[in-house]
Amino acid sequence: MTLRLYDTNTRQVRDFVPLVPGCVSIYLCGATVQAPPHIGHIRSGLNFDVMRRWLAYRGYDVTFVRNVTDIDDKVIAKSREFGIPWWQIAYANERAFNDGYTALGCLPPTAEPRATGHVPEMIEMMRGLIERGHAYASEGNVYFDVKSYPDYLELSNQQLENLLQPESEGETGKRDARDFAMWKRAKEGEPSWETPWGRGRPGWHLECSAMAHKYLGRAFDIHGGGIDLIFPHHENEIAQSKAYGDDFAAFWVHNAWVTLSGEKMSKSLGNSVLVSDMVQRWRPIVLRYYLASPHYRSMIEYSEESLREAETGFARIEGFIERAVERCGAVDAAPEVPLAFAEAMDDDLGVPQALAVLHTAVRQGNSALTADDKDSAVARLAEVRAMLGVLGLDPLDDFWAGGGRGDDLHGVVDSLVRLVLDQRQAARDRKDYATADAIRDQLGLAGLAIEDTPSGPRWTVDQ
């Protein structure tokens, strides 16, 4: 079987053949760290974690680079808003992102370069592009000349004559309004670095081109990110890197958004659901299951109800595992996943179809337990563990089964709190509001905040 992936650049699913046999190189656009992560951010990291795990299962040696954009307009704006140094904001939020990735079981990247650590590489790339006639310096800024690169806008399938480039503060001296900034002239009070064209700071697009070149070379296999990055970010990366002489990425893979009321979840829109809040209310393994279950190119419309459905679905899997282990003892994962599961994953990482195979194995395992067919139950348990392991969802894995993170304790607390909340609801239903209020107050004294929502009460640790 051959892995097939949807390539945004060619707009088709095609066979994936790595540039170097046995090895796969991936560059994922990571966090811009002006604020803590919401679940839409973590979905991207999680989707590519599933890709990475599947490639490793298929026997590839995977190099996975995920950058950190620790300096850009948004980070500087937050610095001004809160009166805190830009680097302090960037580092605190970088840690918050890594905590989120870790909480949801994402493997650490092979490398996680910060933009501010690669200014020399950016200067070298700008110098090369100026020498080749693809970039120019003007009034302390350095711009990429989009007309100098004939294939500009191929990824996003736009026409240059229809392109409107929004005006940006301080970007003066452009030859064409559609040219984009690679380097921005220093402003008073902003961080800056010395270059042959004056002091300034990098543009967002240049950062990724320089870091991808440094860590993965002139050509690599897969460039990933959210669909919102196709234009302008990835389009501009391609122009810079290919004009510089790199082959750059062979495949472009993009994940869809998490939406709320039909809109993209976004810090700027104020409709974010922060990961740090979510892991207080839901078991992280359930959150991973929820975010990983849809196809990576499908939108996820966030709701408490859909999370409850995911929790119920994962509980069926865990219930079988618990019963099978209790009846048959511990069983290692099978050395191979079932053929139908592998075929689904090889077909553009078809996780929904793969999970259908997994749930079928769970049903068969439960039937075997009912029939006291221990041999079949053990076989199904080994298959289920193999499939869950590929997805990073095996509850018996050391990471989830303990690992010093306290997930099991959170599950126990959640069950107990929900039992008490059911008693509170029963009191409210019989109009015994004094008892209902007393229960809420007692939970408050225990350090828990209760919020009544249209989908039912929910609890968080009162900070």
pLDDT at 270 over 70: no
Interatomic CA distance for residues 112 and 84, integer angstroms: 24
Q: Where are the domains of the chain?
A: 4-260, 303-405, 408-461
Residue type, 215: Y
> What are residue 260's DSSP bridge partners?
263
420: closest CA among 400, 398, 444? Answer: 444
170 sits in the region (left: phi over 0; alpha: psi -120 to 50; else beta) called: left
pLDDT of residue 333: 97
SS3 of residue 361 by DSSP:
helix
93: closest CA among 110, 113, 68? Answer: 68
pLDDT tens digits for range 330-352 = 999 999 999 999 999 999 999 99
Report the share of the chain in percent with pLDDT over 90: 80
pLDDT at 441 over 80: yes
End-to-end CA distance of the chain: 51
pTM for the model stands at: 0.85
Give the helix ranges, DSSP H, for 303-406: 304-328, 339-346, 351-370, 374-391, 398-401
CATH superfamily of 4-260: HUPs (3.40.50.620)
pLDDT tens digits for range 147-173 = 999 999 999 999 999 987 666 777 889
Neighbour count for residue 462 (Cβ, 10 Å): 12
pLDDT at 271 over 70: no
Interatomic CA distance for residues 17 and 183, integer angstroms: 35
Domain at 303-405: CATH architecture = Up-down Bundle (1.20)
Residues whose CB falls within 8 Å of the CB of residue 256, separated by 6 or more in sequence, listed in order: 226, 227, 296, 297, 298, 299, 300
Interatomic CA distance for residues 283 and 8, integer angstroms: 34
pLDDT at 184 over 70: yes
Q: Please state the φ and ψ torsions of residue 179, each to the nearest 5 degrees.
A: -65, 145
Residues whose CB falls within 8 Å of the CB of residue 275, separated by 6 or more in sequence, listed in order: 36, 37, 38, 39, 41, 42, 96, 99, 100, 103, 104
Report the share of the chain in percent with pLDDT over 70: 92
The answer to whether 42 and 104 have CB atoms below 8 angstroms apart is yes
Neighbour count for residue 463 (Cβ, 10 Å): 7
pLDDT of residue 402: 67
